[in-house]
Amino acid sequence: MEDKLEKLSFRFEPEIVEKVLKRCFKVPHLALRFFNWVKDKDGFSHKVGVYNTMLSIAGEARDLDMVDELVKEMERNNCDKDIRTWTILISVYGKAKKIGKGLLVFEKMRKSGFEPDAAAYNIMIRSLCIAGRGDLAIEFYKEMIGKDITFGLRTYKMLLDCVAKSEKVDVVQSIADDMVRICEISEHDAFGYLLKSFCISGKIREALELIRELKNKEVGLDAKYFEILVKGLCRANRMVDALEIVDIMKKRKLDDSNVYGIIISGYLRQNDVSKALEQLEVIKNAGHSPRVSTYTEIMQHLFKMKEFQKGCNLFNEMIENGIEPDSVAITAVVAGHFGQNQVAEAWKVFSSMEEKGIKPTWKSYSIFVKELCRSAKYDEILKLLNQMHASKIAIRDDMFSWVISCMEKNGEKEKIEHIKEIQKKCKSYHQELDVSCKTESRQEEELVDEYNRPQVLQQSDPPPASSAVNIMDVQEICRMLSSSRDWERTRESLEKSTVEFRPELVVEVLRNGKIQGNAVLRFFSWVGKRDGYKHSAEAYNMSIKVAGCGKDFKQMRNLFYEMRRQGCLITQDTWAIMIMQYGRTGLTHIAIKTFKEMKDMGLIPNSSTFKCLITVLCQNKGRNVEEATRKFREMIRLGYVPDRELVQDYLGCLCEVANTKEAKQCLASLGKIGFPVPVAYSIYIRALSRIGKLEEALTELASFKGDRSLLEQYTYGSIVHGLLLKGQLQEALDKVNSMKEIGIKPGVHVYTSLIVHFFKEKQPEKVLETFQKMEEESCEPSVVTYTAMICGYMSLGKAEEAWKAFRNMKEKGASPDFKTYSKFINCLCQAGKSEDALNLLSEMLDKGIAPSTVNFRTVIYGLNREGKQDLARSVLHKKSALIAQRKVST
């Protein structure tokens, strides 16, 4: 690296060095090496800006020795500190909880003639609050107020929480008064923060006195105050007092399932399950519906106490009362069965998630694996890991480590080898960072999906960034965000929450609540302003993706600029997300411009960035074949090997525009860079077959000079599909039989092609015969197969049969996707059943699938044609509500 730097012809200026160092926050050792290398260049000397950047990098790395050395070097080189230098040093020592050094630096700053500004005071006070030094924080606060310097609400709340732990109630009260005067918040909110601070600090007597004082002042006491107080009393184990407050709430009709849930949590914290169960009955008798999380919390305690049957009865009661269990509740029951050594029953309950339309989370699988490890059920572990791999659930290395460690203790050497084999298979799915290069709404244009389409890791719910993320916390926050469209009300609920907000949790909330774009992005903004919290690069990336998914491109850009202002590391992955979000809506010209902007910023595109851009350039909406070709060539020239999915998109696009010359050149270049030649040709032959160029496909197959038998296996489904498109049924069946003779059974793609063909020929009896054959040969129908059945029956005017196929699909665990809903909606509207299509729109929204503009337009046109103008208007309102729900910008 130093040799390359030596060969550079331009002159290093301090401004350039500072910009380079700002890109090295995540690699402090490299930053230091570059910093030391450049200072030895003739005629170069570091300026204060460069030292400030290096101090920030060292502070971020918690390397206080480097910080001290840099300060000494500044003094040796007579480089004067500026106000920013002093502020950085105060911040570094404050974060490291070196309060003594922080105070010393603050005094040195004053002696050096620098008057502390708002930023310096703010950092100093927050550092003292984190260290629990409320007495010193108050002194700095008084000094600050005397100079008419103020700070924001976040620091005030932090100061309030810290000082509330002391006995100086009058000081705490004065801070609350200042919040009203300086931060311009209402007295109602200020007293709420004060009450919360007393409760968090365990100052229950002071909290009760505050409530009495508010009552005397005739301040309206709403549910917010009472809930804060109930939570504080429960934390202090004062359950009798907490119940008295609940009684007051009940008399004022302010009680709800939330406050009873707090009471139940309080009893469970004391391991008093009987009292918790009594309160559960109280909730039901009061006419409230207990929350899923309340049921789950009680069940978990019952299972721990070996009260297995009671826990199961509670689970059954929850279902009977119409309360849908979530993955956490089901996973709790699975753990309960393991506690009884009922492995078969645990499997049954775990499998029921799919039947209920609940996708098991990574955390659910993690708990299942751990329980199997405890029970030494190693064959079952292999079965589960294979199931995870087959379901495209990413299996992290730490999970493999648990399993291998358990097996080693029990001498299961042979099974360890099987585990390592699964681990190797999984590695291939993690070669590239998930930057959402797969477009959420992008589906196959044809109903038939060929068997040689690469198995892409479809991870709408990837594993949490940290295994420490509590899925219950994520679900609780998501429920708050979706429960109300009034942000102020939602914000109040969030303020009451006891959840610890960390970047990993925020990422999961954003990921799970994408369809609630407005609410989750407001949440993202709110949590970013909280004391002691800072967004990670991953959190910003996910927020940018959420904004883009809702077509809120103004907000997407604002988040990008905010990310840059906050000093987060912006990598190719961030740019790739923006490129994909622009491109997926057809704004490919902006995607190209964004790609160029990234390069102008000095970032070299990686394989993911190229893939995102080429993918959107090849799609039908906003297609730009010329630019796609240029970028594909550039990618190859830079030495990146495209994956099979990208090659399929690119060759498919070239074949659709009849550019076979470029397609042939692509095949040649792929062979030179190590892409498997039979796979490349199979993709090309598949693309030709899909657009009806069967003769050309067969010519390519005949002229292939490599292993023909291997290529025939790869292209078998494509050729059958091409023959059926031409109406050559007998030839297609002959091909199927010839492959059977060499031991290759037809796959789901071949059966689906036959089903599509028989519907086209209006032969429903042949369709049923083919479907039965699939079941006899244990060939599971895919989502594409069921979609073909639905559309086929609708084309024959058999709507009831189509609905039967739709219900059967869900019962078998094949969840309908965007394409299924879109095609079914279109068919229903064409058949004059637009009201049924409207119900499907509502179902899509309930399942978190955002209907497209075309979906809404189709239903509106259909309802208007059928004379149902009032319903058509309701669809327009539904569309407007969805747009408002997904976008922050107006």
Residue for token digits 């100093």?
Answer: 124
SS3 at position 753: helix
Same domain, 512 and 610: no
Q: Is residue 531 part of a domain?
A: yes
Q: Residues 414-443, buried b or exposed e (16+ Cβ, 10 A)? A: ebbebbeebbeebeebeeeeebbbbbbebb
Domain finish residue from 648, 675, 702: 675
Helix or strand (DSSP H, E) at 653: helix 644-656
**pTM score:** 0.49
pLDDT class of 589 with cuts at 50, 70, 90:
very high
- Highest-scoring range by mean pLDDT, 2-16, 520-534, 606-620, 662-676: 606-620
For residues 436 and 444, give the distance between their C-alpha atoms in angstroms, rounded to a whole number.
Answer: 17
For residues 391 and 380, give the distance between their C-alpha atoms in angstroms, rounded to a whole number.
Answer: 16
Same domain, 656 and 598: yes
Whole-number CA gyration radius for the chain? 32
pLDDT class of 455 with cuts at 50, 70, 90:
very low
Looking at residue 514, the DSSP 8-state letter turns out to be G
Same domain, 534 and 592: no
- Which of 701, 702, 703, 707 has the alpha carbon at shortest distance from 684? 701
Looking at residue 432, the DSSP 8-state letter turns out to be S
For residues 857 and 877, give the distance between their C-alpha atoms in angstroms, rounded to a whole number.
Answer: 12
What is the domain extent for residue 825? 817-890
Burial class (CB in 10 A: 0-12, 13-18, 19+), 341: exposed
The dihedral through the CA atoms of 762, 856, 817, 544 has a sign that is positive
Tell me the CA distances in angstroms from 782 to 448, 462, 809, 889, one per residue in order. Answer: 10, 22, 9, 39
pLDDT of residue 439: 32
Identify the weakest region by mean pLDDT among 270-274, 535-539, 712-716, 814-818. Answer: 712-716
Give the tokens for residue 845. Answer: 């929204």
For residues 707 and 712, give the distance between their C-alpha atoms in angstroms, rounded to a whole number.
Answer: 9
Same domain, 579 and 535: no
Type of residue found at 166: S
pLDDT of residue 715: 78
SS3 at position 121: helix
pLDDT of residue 651: 92
For residues 562 and 556, give the distance between their C-alpha atoms in angstroms, rounded to a whole number.
Answer: 10
Q: Is residue 517 part of a domain?
A: yes
Mean pLDDT of 681-704: 86
For residues 291 and 375, give the distance between their C-alpha atoms in angstroms, rounded to a whole number.
Answer: 31
- Which of 163, 214, 166 has the alpha carbon at shortest distance from 190? 214
- Highest-scoring range by mean pLDDT, 9-18, 168-177, 623-632: 623-632
Which residues, including other chains, have CB under 8 Å from residue 326's CB and lie 6 or more apart?
292, 296, 358, 475
Same domain, 825 and 853: yes
Identify the weakest region by mean pLDDT among 82-91, 424-433, 637-646, 772-781. Answer: 424-433
Q: Residues 469-491, buried b or exposed e (16+ Cβ, 10 A)? A: bbbbbbbbbbebbbeeeeeeebe
Mean pLDDT of 379-390: 81
Tell me the CA distances in angstroms from 25 to 59, 61, 69, 379, one per residue in order. Answer: 10, 8, 18, 46
SS3 at position 868: coil
Count of residues for the chain?
Answer: 890
Number of domains in the chain: 3
Helices 362-374 and 378-390, axial angle in degrees (round to 10): 160
Looking at residue 485, the DSSP 8-state letter turns out to be S
pLDDT of residue 860: 92
Same domain, 668 and 644: yes
For residues 617 and 357, give the distance between their C-alpha atoms in angstroms, rounded to a whole number.
Answer: 34
pLDDT tens readout for residues 297-328: 899 888 888 888 998 898 888 888 888 888 88
Which residues, including other chains, have CB under 8 Å from residue 789's CB and lie 6 or more apart?
755, 767, 771, 802, 805
Residue for token digits 């799919």?
Answer: 354
Same domain, 669 and 577: yes
pLDDT class of 433 with cuts at 50, 70, 90:
very low
pLDDT tens readout for residues 846-866: 888 888 889 999 999 999 999
pLDDT of residue 454: 30
DSSP assignments along 158-174, one per residue: HHHHHHTTSS-HHHHHH
SS3 at position 431: coil
- Which of 13, 58, 9 has the alpha carbon at shortest distance from 32? 58
CATH number of the domain at 665, please.
1.25.40
Q: Is residue 762 part of a domain?
A: no
Mean pLDDT of 167-193: 80
pLDDT tens readout for residues 705-740: 776 776 777 777 888 888 888 888 888 888 888 877
pLDDT class of 430 with cuts at 50, 70, 90:
very low
Alpha helices in 223-286 (DSSP H): 223-235, 239-251, 257-269, 273-285
For residues 241 and 245, give the distance between their C-alpha atoms in angstroms, rounded to a whole number.
Answer: 6
Residue for token digits 């550092």?
Answer: 127
Which of the pair, 795 or 181, is modelled with greater confidence? 795
Same domain, 515 and 603: no
SS3 at position 815: coil
Q: Is residue 441 part of a domain?
A: no
Q: By the 8 A CB rule, do 628 and 618 touch?
A: yes
Tell me the CA distances in angstroms from 249 to 67, 220, 240, 286, one per residue in order. Answer: 55, 13, 14, 12
For residues 502 and 560, give the distance between their C-alpha atoms in angstroms, rounded to a whole number.
Answer: 20
SS3 content of the chain, % helix, strand, coil (to 5): 70, 0, 30
Average pLDDT of the chain to the nearest whole number: 82
Which of the pair, 830 or 420, is modelled with greater confidence? 830
pLDDT of residue 577: 93
- Which of 706, 640, 645 has the alpha carbon at shortest distance from 669? 640
Same domain, 466 and 489: yes
DSSP assignments along 123-190, one per residue: HHHHHHHHTT-HHHHHHHHHHHHHTT----HHHHHHHHHHHTTSS-HHHHHHHHHHHHHHS---HHHH
Same domain, 566 and 463: yes
Q: Which long-range contacts (CB under 8 A, 24 or more apart) does 840-849 make?
A: 841/875, 841/878, 842/878, 844/818, 845/515, 845/878, 845/882, 847/357, 847/815, 848/514, 848/515, 849/515, 849/817, 849/818, 849/821
Looking at residue 229, the DSSP 8-state letter turns out to be H
Q: By the 8 A CB rule, do 389 and 426 touch?
A: yes
Other C-beta atoms closer than 10 Å to the C-beta of 460 total 11
pLDDT of residue 11: 66
pLDDT of residue 440: 32
Q: Residues 637-675, buried b or exposed e (16+ Cβ, 10 A)? A: eeebebbbbbbbbbbbbbbbeebeebbeebbeebeeeeb
pLDDT class of 616 with cuts at 50, 70, 90:
very high
Tell me the CA distances in angstroms from 30 to 21, 41, 121, 571, 622, one per residue in order. Answer: 9, 17, 32, 17, 42
| Nearest-10 Cα torsion for 225, 226, 229, 233 | -170
pLDDT of residue 5: 65
Asked if the model's pLDDT at residue 448 lies above 60, the reply is: no
- Which of 232, 241, 281 has the alpha carbon at shortest distance from 257? 281
Same domain, 463 and 562: yes
Q: By the 8 A CB rule, do 508 and 469 touch?
A: yes
Same domain, 566 and 618: no
Q: Is residue 195 part of a domain?
A: no
Domain finish residue from 553, 570, 587: 570
For residues 649 and 645, give the distance between their C-alpha atoms in angstroms, rounded to a whole number.
Answer: 6
Alpha helices in 572-643 (DSSP H): 572-584, 588-600, 607-618, 625-637
Give the tokens for residue 828. Answer: 């229903």
Domain finish residue from 520, 554, 570: 570
Which of the pair, 237 or 615, is modelled with greater confidence? 615
Other C-beta atoms closer than 10 Å to the C-beta of 572 total 20
Mean pLDDT of 552-570: 87
Q: Is residue 105 part of a domain?
A: no
Q: Which long-range contacts (CB under 8 A, 24 or more apart) does 29-33 make?
A: 31/57, 32/57, 32/66
Other C-beta atoms closer than 10 Å to the C-beta of 388 total 20
